[in-house]
Structure 1
Amino acid sequence: MRVLLVDDHELIWNGTRRLLEEVHRGIGAPDDALFFAAERDVAAACARPDRRFDLVLLDYHLPGLAGLQALQRMQQAFEGAAICMLSAESGSEHIRAVLEAGAAGFIPKSYGEADMAAALRLVLRRRVYVPAEFVLSEDVVRHREADEVRSEDLAGFLLGELSARQREVLALALQGLPNKSIGRRLDIAEGTVKVHLSMVYRALGVKNRVGAMCRVMQARAADALGG
C-alpha cells in the first residue's frame, strides 16, 4: 500500500502519519507494505516523478488549487489511485458534492483520534469512508418503495441478483475510481462500465454513486461486493 498525503499543515502531516503507522501495524500488514509521502499542495504532488500510489489523502483547503478542482486534477494525475478527501467542513451538501465528484471517501478533520483512526483503518483497506452522520442524514435516507429490497436483504440481493461483473464494477465505483479507470482495471470499454452502473443503480433504486454508496452502507452490505 502506497499512501500520499497532500496537506499544507505540518501538524496534520505529523498527526496523520502517526495514526497511519499505528493503524497499519494494527491491521497486521507487512512492515514494508506502506509507503507514506507528504506534499504541501497539488502542484507539488503532481510534480512528483513517481505517481504510483494506491491511496491519496487530499485536504480540501489547500493553497493554490483547492476543493473540487484539486480533486479533479489529482484524479487526472493519479489515475487509478483512491483519493479520499479530508475537510474541516462537514455539512451534508459539502460531503455530497465531494462524493459526487468521485472522491473515494470523506473524512472530517473535526474527528477525534479514535474516529480518525477508524476512518483511516477503513481507507487503508481500500474501502470507502463516509461519515455516519451523512449516511443517516434526513436528506439522504430515502423512503423505501413497496417493491424495493429491504436493507437486511441487500447483501443477499447483491450476491444473488447482480452478476459478478456488476459487483466488480460497483465495488470499484464505490472506491471512487472514474469509469475510464474501472474499464482499464477490468479490461472493458468505458461505455460498458456506464451500462453496468446504470443497471446496478436501477436495481438499487438510486440515481448515482452517492445514492448507491449510502444504500450499501446503510445496509452494511459492503462485504457482499468482496475486496
Structure 2
Amino acid sequence: MRVLLVDDHEIVWNGTRRLMERVAREIDPQQPFEFDAACDVESACRLPRCGFDLVLLDYHLPKLMGVAALHAVKSHFEATPVCIQSAESSPQRVREVIEAGAAGFIPKSYRLDDMEAALRVVLRHRIYLPAEFVLADDVTRSREPDELPREDLARFLRAELSPRQRQVLALAIRGTPVKLIARELSIAEGTVKVHLSMVYRALGARNRTDALCRVFDAHAASALEAA
C-alpha cells in the first residue's frame, strides 16, 4: 500500500506516516507500506500518476488550495482516491469538497482513535463523512410525505435498482468521477449521467452528496457492496 500526504506542515509528516502505517497493517498485514509526502500541489504533481492507493490532501496549502487543489490533484492522480483533511469542518466546507469529488473529509480536530476509524473507511474505498455533517441542520431536510422511510432504503437499493444502477451508485458515492465510472463499466459517460439522474430522483436526492447522506444515515451502504 502506498499513501501520499500533501501538507505544508512538515512537522506532521512523521506522525501521519506512523498513523497510516498502523492502519494499513491492520487492513492488510501482508502488504508492504510506502509513504510519500509533499508540501504543495505542484510538488505532489511531479510524482508518478499511478501507484498510489490514497492521497491525503490538506485543505489549506500555499499557492493552490481548497477545491482548486483538489481538482488539480484528482486530475493528476486520476485513479486514486483523494481525501481532504482540514482544521475547519463546517457543513458548507464538507459539502463543497465532497461535491467536488473528494473521497472523504477528515477533520484535523479528531482524536487519534477517530482519525484511525476514518482512515480505515477511506482505505476500504468508501467515502468518509463526519457524523456531525450528516446530522447537521443545514444538511438534513424535512421528509416529504411520500418519501421512502430510511429503514426501507437498503431493501429499496437491493430490490428496486437494476444491477447497473447499483454499480453506478456504488462507484459514485465512493467519489469516482463520471469518466472513470464509464471506463470501468465500459459504458458511455452520458449513460452514467442518465443512471445517476434516475437513481438520485428515486432516492429523493439532489446530487451525489445528498445521496451519500441518505445512504449513510440509513446505514444502507451494505446494500451496494455486491455492486
Tell me which residue corresponds to 2:98.
99
- Aligned partner letter, 2:201: R
Give unpaired runs (5+ residues) of structure 1: none
Measured after TM superposition, the shift of residue 89 of structure 1 is 0.7
Structure 1 distance, partners of 2:225, 2:32, is 21
Tell me which residue corresponds to 1:115.
114
What secondary structure is seen at the aligned counterpart in 2 of 1:3?
strand
Tell me which residue corresponds to 2:11.
11
Tell me which residue corresponds to 1:68.
67
- Aligned partner letter, 2:21: E
Structure 2 distance, partners of 1:34, 1:146, is 50
2:49–2:78 contact (8 Å) kept in structure 1: no
- Aligned partner letter, 1:17: R
Structure 2 distance, partners of 1:81, 1:155, is 28
Moved more, 193-202 or 143-152: 143-152
Tell me which residue corresponds to 1:23.
23
Structure 2 distance, partners of 1:107, 1:119, is 7
Structure 1 distance, partners of 2:184, 2:33, is 22
1:52–1:78 contact (8 Å) kept in structure 2: no
- Aligned partner letter, 2:89: S
- Aligned partner letter, 1:26: E
2:49–2:76 contact (8 Å) kept in structure 1: no
Structure 1 distance, partners of 2:152, 2:13, is 41
Aligned residues: 226
Measured after TM superposition, the shift of residue 12 of structure 1 is 2.1
CA RMSD for the aligned pairs? 1.4
Structure 2 distance, partners of 1:35, 1:171, is 28
Query: CA offsets per residue over residues 55-77 of structure 1, 9 Å max, x none?
Result: 21111111121111000111111
Measured after TM superposition, the shift of residue 11 of structure 1 is 2.8
Measured after TM superposition, the shift of residue 54 of structure 1 is 2.6
What secondary structure is seen at the aligned counterpart in 1 of 2:187?
coil
Measured after TM superposition, the shift of residue 20 of structure 1 is 1.3
Give unpaired runs (5+ residues) of structure 2: none
2:49–2:77 contact (8 Å) kept in structure 1: no
1:42–1:74 contact (8 Å) kept in structure 2: yes
Residues 1-227 of structure 1 correspond to what in structure 2 (within 5 A)?
Answer: 1-27=1-27, 29-226=28-225
Measured after TM superposition, the shift of residue 47 of structure 1 is 0.8
What secondary structure is seen at the aligned counterpart in 1 of 2:82?
strand
Structure 1 distance, partners of 2:121, 2:64, is 27
1:158–1:225 contact (8 Å) kept in structure 2: yes
TM-score (norm 2): 0.95
Structure 1 distance, partners of 2:153, 2:32, is 33
Measured after TM superposition, the shift of residue 50 of structure 1 is 4.6
What secondary structure is seen at the aligned counterpart in 1 of 2:190?
helix
TM-score (norm 1): 0.95
2:25–2:31 contact (8 Å) kept in structure 1: no
Measured after TM superposition, the shift of residue 26 of structure 1 is 2.2
Structure 1 distance, partners of 2:67, 2:30, is 34
Measured after TM superposition, the shift of residue 49 of structure 1 is 3.1
Measured after TM superposition, the shift of residue 124 of structure 1 is 0.9
The 4+ residue runs of structure 1 with deviation greater than 3 A are none
What secondary structure is seen at the aligned counterpart in 2 of 1:217?
helix
What secondary structure is seen at the aligned counterpart in 2 of 1:56?
strand
- Aligned partner letter, 1:127: R
Structure 2 distance, partners of 1:50, 1:82, is 12
